């Protein structure tokens, strides 16, 4: 692998790796190390966008990594705008995003690019390892739409969010962004879901690789999935349903728009319930009923409560056997 920051007019990188970052220099360096370790032949262009960090990110990257293209921003703009600025500079045949708190196994790019080779109008999505760094627990997920629960990938993207947990696990042909546009900068959250819907509407197919070569780190250092962002995410998802529903309806069979609204409110009601915001949970459960019917809301309320009781029962059983083991 050849890493270049300066390219001649005739040199086209095989892949451009785009890494937005904000105040995560230690994690960023680990992410960069995972890029440097990639087992591929060809030219790789790495673009780091420092979103106005205050921890010396730009200075450290500039000094320690001369082969990296660095874009230093004078004000914080958010991940979508940062990625778009890098996309305007990127020259690779393929685009791979890596969040600065995520990692790649050494065979990530090799696996993804091999899957895309010879396949036109396709995006490639890797299986994912979710690493809870606080509890040091890892789980592997195949990132595919749940077609037992949803009528189509569109249905899942509009109501329950993306089946692609992080842009760090997807590789795009460069022409995608010329055809469907860049990330929507209207909102600071969930801009990747908007992009995936536009790609599917434009007729792009999804290739799923089952090797878990991307690693998404869950931690407590200011992730956008924090509880404080729940209401903002709900409003964005409702706005996205309004934006895309008519276009999706013309492509595939999908449930009525009122059902979409109900499912969105139900999804976030359950999120509030799991985090013990019972007033918000009840309020959104009632809102979901207004879009469909009372039975729908009541069944979801019962489902949430039963789920919590099952968890409680399991914990009581575990504690019971732990006490017996200690007694022995």
> Are 19 and 98 contacting, i.e. CB atoms less than 8 angstroms apart?
yes
Structure tokens given for 317: 């059983």
Distance CA 98, CA 273 (A): 31
pTM of the model: 0.87
Structure tokens given for 233: 């995410």
pLDDT per residue over 60-90, tens digit each? Answer: 999 999 999 999 999 999 999 999 999 999 9
Q: Cα–Cα distances in Å, from 12 out to 95, 113, 134, 238?
A: 12, 16, 40, 40
pLDDT at 258: 96
pLDDT at 2: 78
Place of tokens 């990110």: 57
CA torsion sign for 50, 51, 52, 54 is negative
> Are 300 and 266 contacting, i.e. CB atoms less than 8 angstroms apart?
yes
pLDDT at 215: 97
Place of tokens 């962002």: 229
Structure tokens given for 187: 């909102």
In which residue ranges of the chain is pLDDT below 50?
Answer: 314-326, 328
Distance CA 213, CA 105 (A): 5
pLDDT at 291: 93
């Amino acid at each position: 692998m050849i890493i270049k920051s300066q390219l001649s007019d005739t040199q086209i990188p095989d892949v451009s790796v785009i890494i937005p970052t904000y105040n995560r220099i230690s994690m960023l360096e680990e992410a960069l190390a995972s890029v440097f370790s990639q087992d591929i032949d060809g030219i790789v262009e790495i673009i780091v966008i420092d979103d106005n960090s205050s921890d010396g990110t730009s200075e450290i990257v500039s000094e320690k990594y001369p082969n990296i293209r660095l874009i230093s921003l004078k004000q914080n703009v958010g991940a979508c705008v940062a990625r778009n600025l890098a996309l305007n500079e990127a020259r690779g045949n393929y685009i791979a995003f890596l969040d600065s708190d995520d990692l790649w196994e050494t065979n990530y790019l090799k696996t993804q690019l091999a899957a895309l080779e010879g396949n036109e109008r396709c995006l490639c999505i890797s299986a994912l390892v979710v690493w809870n760094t606080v509890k040091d627990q890892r789980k592997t997920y195949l990132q595919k739409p749940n077609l037992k629960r949803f009528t189509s990938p569109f249905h899942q993207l509009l109501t329950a969010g993306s089946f692609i947990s992080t842009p760090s696990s997807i590789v795009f042909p460069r022409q995608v962004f010329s055809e469907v546009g860049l990330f929507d900068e209207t909102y600071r959250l969930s801009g990747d879901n908007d992009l995936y819907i536009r790609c599917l509407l434009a007729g792009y197919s999804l290739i799923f690789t089952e090797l878990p070569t991307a690693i998404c780190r869950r931690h407590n250092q200011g992730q956008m999935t924090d509880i404080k962002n729940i209401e903002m995410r709900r409003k964005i998802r409702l706005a996205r349903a309004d934006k895309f529903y008519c276009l999706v309806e013309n492509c595939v069979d999908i449930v009525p728009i009122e059902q979409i609204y109900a499912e969105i409110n139900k999804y976030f009601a359950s999120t509030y319930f799991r985090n013990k915001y019972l007033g918000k949970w009840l309020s959104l459960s009632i809102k979901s009923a207004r879009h469909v019917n009372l039975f729908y809301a009541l069944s979801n309320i019962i489902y949430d409560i039963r789920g919590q009781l099952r968890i409680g029962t399991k914990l009581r059983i575990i504690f019971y056997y732990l006490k017996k083991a200690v007694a022995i």
